[in-house]
A and B are shown apart, each in its own frame.
Chain A
């Protein structure tokens, strides 16, 4: 522990010479200018450290409720679009109810396709997170 002497902090204000400091202290910016060589390296190191910290903090998974909601909405949206297209084409072409039936099935398939896509994205994220955690 360093023991400070009385008057150390006031020295500058009263024009008395400050106690000499160790050489490393001057390295930072006492001269008012960036130190000559290693600033770039140190910046890069600090950025890397910050990045590591940030990516470490971000690695919490999505909530179960949110995931379920997303997948349910994906499925229903596909069916809804299929049904709307089917109803519209049926009214237009007078083929009630056959196109509705066909597009309901297609819409359900599209909904499942949506769900599959969303789920595989979650899987990918989970794998990336796992890889990241193992790597560190």
Chain B
């Protein structure tokens, strides 16, 4: 029987390399491409027949659009409209990667720290560049807590800088840890089902409940990643 951690292994499906650089197509690549293709297809079907009275697909596509549009309106404000494409893309990609991972025997892309950290790093660098473009060197005032006495600054500024630098780490680790822990738990409980023979029905019932919880977490973590991205963009636009 497969161990609970074997699901996270990456296998090359099509070995490729340029010089010493390994660019093999792996199961991770395939599932990332699938997440992109399915989310794009979902929206293309939804937007393809823009009817006055929306059908099921159009309704779902519009629902996801409005969800993110409202989120941006509430967290950033009306000047956040410009950043809708990147925020929406991030949300849909993470959501579909998480949900694809819930299909039995599939691979969860977001359970790899490389993937989540790459996304978090893009957000971090993008937000920092945005803040510099918007405020120039005035951006450094972000690291000074408002209303603090000047003699505290040598202590407070390093703390604020470390806090700022910890953003991509907490952003990526949160998503990665949730996915890793959830999927490991599912497989561990699934192991009990066979080990307990007739009484395996109990862990099986638990497994059904946990699968539901994991689907909720798939949505929740995509939402959390998105809302934090929105908050970082808001900080970059308005500083304090």
CA distance A85 to B159 in the complex (A): 12
B210 to chain A, nearest CB (A): 12
* Bound-complex Cα distance A129 to B225 (A): 21
Are the CB atoms of B169 and A66 closer together than 8 Å?
A: no
B86 beta carbon closer than 8 Å to chain A: no
Contact B160 A77 (CB under 8 A): no
Question: Which residues of B (204-229) have their CB < 8 Å from a CB of A?
Answer: 217, 220, 224
List the A side residues contacting B167 at CB < 8 Å. 77
The interface residues of chain B lying within 8 Å CB-to-CB of A80 are 166, 169
Q: List the A side residues contacting B178 at CB < 8 Å.
A: 69
Contacting pair A73 B163 (CB below 8 A): no
Q: Closest CB of chain A to B7's CB: distance in Å?
A: 21
Task: Give B152-188 interface residues, CB cut-off 8 Å to A.
Answer: 158-160, 162-163, 165-167, 169-170, 173-174, 177-178
- Min CB distance B52 to A, Å, is 12
- For B177, the chain A residues whose CB sits under 8 A away are 69, 73
Q: Do B162 and A106 touch across chains, with their CB atoms under 8 A apart? A: yes
CA distance in complex: A18, B231 (Å):
60
Chain A residues within 8 Å of B173, by CB: 73, 76-77
Query: Contacts A66-B224, A80-B166, A111-B166; is A73 near B160 (CB within 8 Å)?
Result: no
A81 at the interface (CB under 8 A from B): yes
Do residues B162 and A107 form an inter-chain contact, with CB atoms below 8 A? yes
Partner of B170, one of A66, A74, A103, A109: A74
- Bound Cα distance from A74 to B170, whole angstroms: 6
Of B163, B217, B224, the contact of A114 (CB 8 Å cutoff):
B163
Knowing A76-B173, A77-B169, the reply to whether A110 touches B224 (Cβ < 8 A) is no
Asked, given contacts A63-B220, A66-B220, A66-B224, whether A73 binds B170 with beta carbons under 8 Å apart, the answer is yes
Across the interface, do A69 and B174 meet the contact criterion of CB distance under 8 Å? yes
Contact yes or no, A113 B163, CB < 8 A: yes
Minimal beta-carbon separation of B120 from chain A (angstroms): 11
In-complex Cβ contact of A110 among B166, B174, B217 (8 A): B166
Chain A residue, CB-CB nearest to B231? A121
What residues on A are CB-neighbors of B166 within 8 Å? 74, 77-78, 80-81, 107, 110-111, 114
Known pairs A63-B220, A80-B169; A70 contacts B162 (CB<8 A) = no
Task: Check if A113 sits within 8 Å of B158, measured CB to CB.
Answer: no
A81 to B165, Cβ gap below 8 A?
Answer: yes
Shortest distance between the CB of A124 and any CB in chain B (Å): 12
A sample of 4 more A-B contacts (CB under 8 A), given A78-B162, A103-B162, A110-B163, is A70-B224, A78-B163, A110-B159, A111-B163
Can you give 27 A-B contacts (C-beta < 8 A)?
A: A69-B174, A69-B177, A70-B224, A73-B174, A73-B177, A74-B166, A74-B170, A76-B170, A77-B166, A77-B167, A77-B169, A77-B170, A78-B162, A81-B165, A85-B162, A85-B165, A103-B162, A106-B158, A106-B159, A106-B162, A107-B162, A109-B162, A110-B159, A110-B163, A111-B166, A114-B163, A114-B166
A-binding residues in B (CB < 8 A): 158-160, 162-163, 165-167, 169-170, 173-174, 177-178, 217, 220, 224, 231
